[in-house]
């Protein structure tokens, strides 16, 4: 699994990260990204290509 620190370093170095999927509901917002090498590489199915990382943001409950 790719660490968050590594992803942030890649972003800072100008690496390409592409959103693979996104899901959100009342409780969480989940975004999955995948590292892409080169400009024309096709994205692969989960588990077949480069490492993926998920960012999960829990929504606050305001009651």
| Confidence band of 4 (pLDDT split at 50, 70, 90) | low
pLDDT digits (tens, 9 = 90+) for 5-41: 676 677 667 667 677 777 777 777 787 777 666 554 5
pLDDT digits (tens, 9 = 90+) for 40-56: 455 555 555 666 677 77
Residue 57 vs residues 2, 27, 38, 42, 48: alpha-carbon distances, Å? 18, 9, 29, 27, 26
**Closest to 47 (Cα-Cα) out of 20, 29, 15:** 20
């Amino acid at each position: 699994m790719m660490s968050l620190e590594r992803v942030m370093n890649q972003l800072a170095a100008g690496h390409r990260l592409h959103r693979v999927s996104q899901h959100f509901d009342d409780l969480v917002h989940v975004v999955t990204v995948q590292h892409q090498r080169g400009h024309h590489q096709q994205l692969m199915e989960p588990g077949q290509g480069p490492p993926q990382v998920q960012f999960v943001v829990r929504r606050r409950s305001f009651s």
